[in-house]
């Protein structure tokens, strides 16, 4: 069951930027695009675990800061000839608030 | 309803145009392709290695039939279009298939030229143009022994070489007295002939064919002087004629080829033509590099973007005979008044010749050692003045300060296991395989597929050499202008000019003005645009944090585990007991995992978590430190030696001068990292001659050196001039820094920048033009007013706090 948890206000995340939500089991990166779409993916590049939240955001993808892989934010898939995939999480924005669908295991906050 | 696009000619130019079009607008057209040949799209260039048995048909396919299906393209293979009905806008093929069009693209290529002699239609007389021709030759090679190739040009020699590899006894017949006369001068031509003869190829020079003899099948060739030679197979490799018949029948204006304008449009605005069948500004090209450029323009027009124009191409040639290295470009036979530089080494079997006019390369012929062909070609296309390195130009580009790689540039001699890209561990074999398997043609493609040369870039030259030798001149070494990135057609220089001339002051405005193809740019162009705007509109432009690479955004270097390093500025490398104690105390308080002296005379604290950064920065600021910008495309360090204050050889106070220089320049953003040094005497303990700007003190004043680099490619500085006072040193440093800031491309360090614009140019601007120098210096100082705020202190006080604090779950 999706358990919608309020994480942040939209304006807490910079446009074309990201914020990190640190959880016990995982760090989740929340990205905001130029058109105010929000995506949530695991903050770990499928290449060598680079922190994707620190990359440059363009369109609906992010370029990893360590070796420039491009990751599609919606699917979590590496773009171009690179192959790899990172977990994505369901996220929604309502009235300027950002909600994440977390399972019970995730919620234990770090 | 989608518009309909029909392509006639399933060859290299036509399909490349479709690929370019699909990249820009995948959904604009319903596309139908007619191809007379019964295959998908293959790499015609590779027919030579196919004939020589070095490749298979599968190896040379570029787009198999699945590609057409995946892209929703209707392919009519094996169907020849016989009529274009321009009134009803439809095309009709030989089997009656018709297709309607809104736009029509002609890419019908060329036909081989067959010399009109009696007997030309006999069995066993063939051309060398398509897969079928290669099959015919292979069959003949199985059953017969003696082949005659008519034509000693590129095509003829590649055919002859392939047939020889297939075990035939081959004679090349040539009308003139030297081979490849359109590409080679007499010396290179003679070298080539000798080495082909060594391999067993025979030649009949100055022989005019009169008749092909035989009953039914060819049995021999007779020449004008009455002599005869036996032959079971005759290959006509004398040239090509643009295939214009279809266009001509449709009433389109044709001369040698189908006449097109700068947007590749024929006289009927609905009909475009690209490739060998097209004639642009009087020229019908016969090599793929220009055709690919044409394809890009045609695609841009078909996509209704309408800003790309084709201005013609300069071409170069290589011969694809394994083991023979040969390169030719431009006007290789000197005209009156030209100068010629030649290097010939008979023992090593190499010959290099450059034709120079007004200090620019006009033509090049290389034999035996072609590694620098792409470099000479680039100098030629860009019209770079070679005055400054004329003496060494024939020794090659690696002689220009590339002590790092030197002999390794003999890349073709390396084994397949040799590592080419040290950063990503990519071997020569991997690269060559990817090039042939994926059908790669550009450096960008190779970077994307193999990662080679995608990191530090020091192996770019090697990768380019591999590309050039693997795909022949299909590889477009250096397009006349290199777009800044994939989001735009414009080069760095064009973007810079647009920003200045049209007073563009924000990133979105620049992108709008120049019709960027992506909504928010990419990780390559955003930092560049941010830098240019910052450099041109100091005090006005609002820095865009999200357009900076993480190191600059977080003011620390990201490490492989996601932690950061902190390197405070230690002006001129001179510290004090007080400073060292503060650093020790702070490192201890924050439990810094590693404390290390850097190679730049300061101290690195490594392994801090991102959310700890503002805290330690605050402590450092309280102790009087500012950011060392070790993470930035910015002024890094000013290295000094002890100088006259202590050293028994010191001539000037190098340490104090270094500190003054660092106080003046710290905080300035640059196109790339930027390092200074001041040495107290010519022993040069501060290594000033491998810095971007180096000062070497002498008894009578200060020697100024520029454009050095100690990193990937070591480059020793060039001597700029000598000055007498510290004030002058400051002025020259400020002016040079500002010139670099205003004119270099983003991510171009002073060394490559200087090589691109030439030392003479820099001297002209900095040494000879006193007013100009002073103005540059003033502009530098003006922009420093806004740059010298400590980013660490600001962030310790709360600026951009969101960057350093993770989110919490609410409530
Ligand atoms: C810390 C330091 C090594 C050390 O422990 O001594 C260092 C560390 C790095 N260097 Fe360096 N370089 C350091 C001195 C040098 C020097 C020596 C010098 O400055 O005298 C050189 C050669 C001189 C030169 O630049 O011409 C040097 C040439 C490079 C290069 C190659 C630059 C080039 O143009 O060829 C790179 C790669 C780049 O910039 O693209 C690089 C890149 C890097 C990066 C930033 C790699 C990265 O992107 O993560 C490293 C950051 C590590 C970190 O987090 O601190 N580093 N690096 C030195 C810092 C000096 C300082 O106080 O700021
Ligand atoms: C053996 C060989 C080696 C070469 N080596 C090099 C090299 O090293 N470097 C280099 O740059 N270039 C090389 N070239 C030249 C290069 O291959 C050509 O410049 C390039 O292929 C031209 O592309 P194109 O699309 O204009 O024509 P093509 O590739 O010839 O494509 C035209 C296609 O249109 C089809 N067609 C024509 N009329 C019709 C019709 N009415 N209906 C349907 N289909 C039709 C033809 O069958 C053909 O398939 C070489 C060529 C050959 C033959
Ligand atoms: S360069 Fe050498 S000799 Fe000269 S001042 Fe420095 S340390 Fe002394
Ligand atoms: S870790 Fe992301 S690209 Fe290497």
For atom 3 of ligand 4, the residue with the nearest CA is A67
Rounded-to-integer distance, Cα B214 and Cα B212, Å: 7
Contacts of A63 in chain B (CB under 8 A): 522-523
**B781: Cβ contacts below 8 Å, ≥ 6 apart:** B664, B734
Cβ of residue B128 lying under 6 Å from some atom of ligand 2: yes
Distance CA B443, CA B428 (A): 14
Distance (Å) from CA B571 to ligand 3 centroid: 18
Chain B residues touching A17 at Cβ < 8 A: 545-546
ipTM: 0.68
Residues B222 and B213: their CA atoms lie apart, in Å, by 7
pLDDT digits (tens, 9 = 90+) for B751-783: 999 988 889 899 999 999 999 999 999 999 999
Instruction: Please provide the average confidence, as pLDDT, over all residues in chain B.
Output: 90
Residues in chain A with CB shorter than 8 Å from the CB of B446 are none
B602 lines ligand 1 (CB under 6 A): yes
- Residue B409 confidence (pLDDT) above 50: no
**What's the rounded Cα separation, in Å, for the pair B618 and B623?**
9
pLDDT higher than 80, residue A107? no
Would you say A98 and B809 are in contact if contact means Cβ atoms under 8 Å apart? no
pLDDT given for residue A105 in this prediction: 60
| Residue B459: strand, helix, or coil | coil
- pLDDT tens digits, residue range B620-646? 999 999 999 999 999 999 999 999 999
Please work out whether the CB of residue B404 comes within 6 Å of at least one atom of ligand 1.
Answer: no
Give A3-102's CATH code, choosing from 3.60.40.10, 2.102.10.10, 1.25.40.10, 2.40.110.10: 2.102.10.10
A48/B contact by beta carbon, under 8 A:
yes
Q: Answer yes or no: are the C-beta atoms of B520 and B544 closer than 8 Å.
A: no
Mutate to test the interface with B, among A44, A81, A110 (most CBs of B within 10 A): A81
Ramachandran assignment for A26, one of left (phi > 0), alpha (psi -120 to 50 degrees), beta (any other): beta
The string of DSSP letters for B210-223 reads: EEEE-SSB--EEEE
DSSP bridge partners of B718: B706
Residue B432 confidence (pLDDT): 87
- Span B337-385, pLDDT tens digits: 889 999 988 778 889 999 999 999 999 999 988 778 877 887 888 788 8
CA of B459 to the centre of ligand 1 (A): 18
Share of chain A above pLDDT 70, in %: 92
Nearest residue CA, atom 4 of ligand 1? B598
Predicted local confidence at residue B720, as pLDDT: 96
Dist. CA B332–CA B340, nearest whole Å: 9
Among the partner residues A6, A56, A67, nearest to B810 by beta-carbon distance: A6
Pairing of strands B674-679, B635-640: parallel
How many other CB atoms are found less than 10 A from the CB of residue B501?
8
Any atom of ligand 1 within 6 Å of the Cβ of B555: no
Please report, for chain A, the start and end positions of each structural domain, with discontinuous segments joined by +.
Answer: 3-102
pLDDT at B242: 97
**If you take atom 52 of ligand 1, which residue's CA is the nearest one?**
B557
pLDDT tens, residue by residue, B12-22:
999 999 999 99
Q: Between chains, do A66 and B558 touch, taking CB under 8 Å as contact?
A: yes
Residues in chain A closer than 8 A to B542 (CB atoms)? none
Determine the Cα–Cα distance for residues B70 and B807; give it in Å rounded to an integer: 43
Q: Tens digit of pLDDT for each residue in B710-766? A: 988 889 999 999 999 999 999 999 999 999 999 999 999 999 999 888 898 999 999
What is the C-alpha to C-alpha distance for residues B312 and B38, in angstroms, rounded to an integer? 32
d(CA B791, CA B787): 9
Which ligand does the CA of B710 lie closest to? 1
Q: Taking CB atoms and an 8 Å limit, are A56 and B526 in contact across chains?
A: yes
- Residues of chain A with Cβ-Cβ distance to B520 below 8 Å are 16, 33-34, 57-59
Asked whether the beta carbons of B658 and B676 are under 8 A apart, the reply is: yes
Among the bound ligands, the one closest to the CA of B604: 1
pLDDT higher at B446 or B100: B100
Among A7, A14, A15, whose Cβ lies nearest the Cβ of B810? A7
CB contacts of B522 in chain A (<8 Å) are 56, 58, 63
Give me ligand 3 centre to Cα A25, in Å.
Answer: 56
Yes or no, beta carbons of A55 and B523 under 8 Å apart: yes
User: Could you give all domains of chain B from N- to C-terminal order, each with its CATH number?
Assistant: 3-42+52-109+242-302 (3.50.50.60), 125-238 (3.50.50.60), 399-480 (1.10.10.1100), 492-548 (no CATH), 551-627 (3.90.480.10), 635-787 (3.30.413.10)
Report the residue from B448, B802, B808 with minimal CB separation from A80: B448
Determine whether the shortest distance from the Cβ of B680 to ligand 3 is under 6 A: yes
* A110 band by pLDDT with thresholds 50, 70 and 90: very low
Spatial separation of the C-alpha atoms in residues A9 and A12, rounded to whole Å: 5
pLDDT surpasses 50 at B784: yes
Angle at the Cα of B117 (from B111 to B121), degrees rounded to 5? 65
pLDDT at residue B480 above 60? Answer: no
Whole-model pTM?
0.64
């Amino acid at each position: 069951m999706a358990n919608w948890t309020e994480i942040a206000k939209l304006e807490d995340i910079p446009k074309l930027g990201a914020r990190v939500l640190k959880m016990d089991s995982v760090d989740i990166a929340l990205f905001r695009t130029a058109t105010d779409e929000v995506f949530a993916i695991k903050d770990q590049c499928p290449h060598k675990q680079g922190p994707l939240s620190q990359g440059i955001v363009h369109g609906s993808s992010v370029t990893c800061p360590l070796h420039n892989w491009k990751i599609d934010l919606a699917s979590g898939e590496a773009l171009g000839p690179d192959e790899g995939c990172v977990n994505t999480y369901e996220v929604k924005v309502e009235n300027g608030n950002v909600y994440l669908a977390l399972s019970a295991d995730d919620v234990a906050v770090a | 309803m989608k518009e309909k696009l029909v392509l006639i000619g399933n060859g290299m130019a036509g399909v490349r145009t479709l690929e370019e079009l699909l990249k820009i607008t995948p959904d604009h057209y319903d596309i139908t392709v007619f191809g007379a040949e019964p295959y998908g799209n293959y790499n015609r260039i590779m027919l030579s290695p196919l004939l020589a048995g070095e490749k298979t048909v599968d190896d040379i396919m570029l787009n198999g039939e699945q590609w057409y299906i995946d892209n929703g393209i209707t392919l009519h293979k094996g169907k020849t279009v016989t009529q274009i009905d321009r009134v009803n806008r439809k095309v009709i093929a030989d089997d009656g298939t018709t297709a309607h069009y809104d736009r029509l693209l002609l890419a019908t290529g060329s036909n081989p030229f067959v010399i009109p002699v009696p007997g030309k239609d006999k069995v066993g007389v063939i051309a060398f143009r398509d897969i079928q021709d290669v099959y015919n030759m292979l069959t003949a090679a199985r059953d017969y022994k003696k082949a005659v190739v008519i034509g000693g040009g590129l095509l003829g020699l590649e055919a002859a070489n392939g047939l020889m590899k297939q075990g035939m006894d081959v004679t090349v017949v040539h009308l003139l007295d030297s081979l490849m006369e359109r590409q080679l001068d007499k010396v290179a031509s003679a070298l080539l002939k000798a080495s082909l003869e060594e391999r067993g190829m025979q030649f009949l020079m100055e022989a005019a064919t009169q008749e092909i003899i035989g009953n039914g099948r060819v049995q021999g060739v007779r020449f004008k002087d009455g002599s005869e030679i036996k032959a079971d197979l005759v290959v006509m490799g004398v040239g090509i004629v643009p295939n214009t018949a279809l266009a001509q029948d449709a009433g389109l204006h044709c001369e040698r080829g189908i006449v097109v304008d700068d947007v590749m449009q024929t006289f009927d605005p609905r009909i475009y033509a690209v490739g060998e069948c097209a004639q642009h500004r009087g020229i019908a090209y016969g090599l793929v590099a220009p055709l690919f450029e044409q394809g890009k323009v045609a695609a841009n027009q078909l996509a209704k973007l309408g800003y790309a124009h084709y201005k013609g191409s300069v071409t170069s040639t290589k011969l694809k005979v394994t083991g023979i290295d040969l390169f030719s470009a431009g006007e290789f036979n000197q005209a009156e008044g030209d100068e010629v530089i030649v290097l010939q080494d008979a023992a090593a079997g190499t010959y290099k010749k450059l034709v120079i006019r007004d200090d620019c390369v006009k033509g090049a012929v290389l034999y035996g050692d072609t590694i620098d062909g792409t470099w000479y070609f680039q100098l030629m296309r860009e019209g770079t003045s070679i005055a400054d390195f004329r003496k060494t130009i024939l020794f090659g580009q690696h002689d220009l300060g590339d002590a790092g790689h030197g002999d390794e540039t003999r890349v073709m001699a390396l084994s397949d296991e040799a590592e080419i890209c040290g950063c990503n561990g990519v071997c020569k074999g991997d690269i060559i395989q990817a090039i042939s398997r994926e059908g790669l043609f550009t450096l960008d493609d190779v970077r994307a597929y193999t990662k080679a040369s995608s990191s530090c870039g020091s192996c770019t030259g090697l990768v380019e050499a591999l590309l050039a030798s693997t795909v022949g001149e299909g590889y477009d070494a250096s397009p006349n202008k290199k777009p800044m990135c994939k989001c735009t057609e414009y080069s760095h220089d064009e973007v810079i000019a647009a920003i200045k001339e049209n007073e563009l002051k924000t990133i979105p405005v620049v992108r709008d003005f120049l019709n960027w193809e992506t909504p928010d740019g990419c990780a390559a162009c955003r930092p560049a645009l941010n830098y240019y705007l910052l450099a041109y509109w100091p005090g006005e432009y609002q820095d865009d944090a999200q357009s900076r690479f993480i190191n600059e955004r977080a003011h620390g270097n990201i490490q492989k585990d996601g932690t950061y390093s902190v390197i405070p500025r230690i002006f001129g490398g001179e510290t004090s007991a007080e400073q060292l104690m503060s650093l020790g105390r702070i490192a201890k308080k924050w439990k810094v995992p590693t404390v290390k002296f850097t190679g730049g005379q300061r101290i690195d604290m490594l392994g801090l978590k991102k959310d700890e950064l503002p805290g330690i920065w605050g402590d450092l600021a309280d102790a009087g430190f500012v950011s060392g910008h070790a993470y930035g495309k910015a002024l890094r360090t000013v290295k000094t030696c002890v100088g006259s204050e202590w050293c028994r050889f010191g001539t000037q106070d190098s340490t104090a001068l270094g500190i003054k220089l660092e106080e003046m320049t710290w905080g300035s953003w640059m196109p790339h990292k930027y390092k200074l040094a001041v040495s107290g005497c010519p022993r040069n303990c501060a290594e000033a001659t491998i810095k971007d700007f180096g000062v070497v003190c002498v008894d009578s004043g200060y020697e100024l050196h520029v454009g050095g680099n100690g990193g990937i490619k070591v480059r020793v500085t060039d001597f700029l001039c000598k000055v007498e006072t510290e004030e002058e040193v400051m002025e020259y440093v400020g002016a040079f820094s500002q010139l670099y800031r205003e004119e270099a491309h983003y991510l171009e360090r002073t060394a490559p920048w200087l090589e691109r614009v030439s030392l003479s140019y820099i001297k002209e601007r900095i040494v000879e033009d006193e007013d100009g120098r002073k103005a540059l210096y003033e502009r530098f100082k003006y922009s420093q007013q806004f740059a010298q705020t400590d980013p660490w202190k600001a962030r310790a006080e709360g600026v951009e706090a969101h960057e350093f604090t993770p989110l919490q779950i609410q409530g």
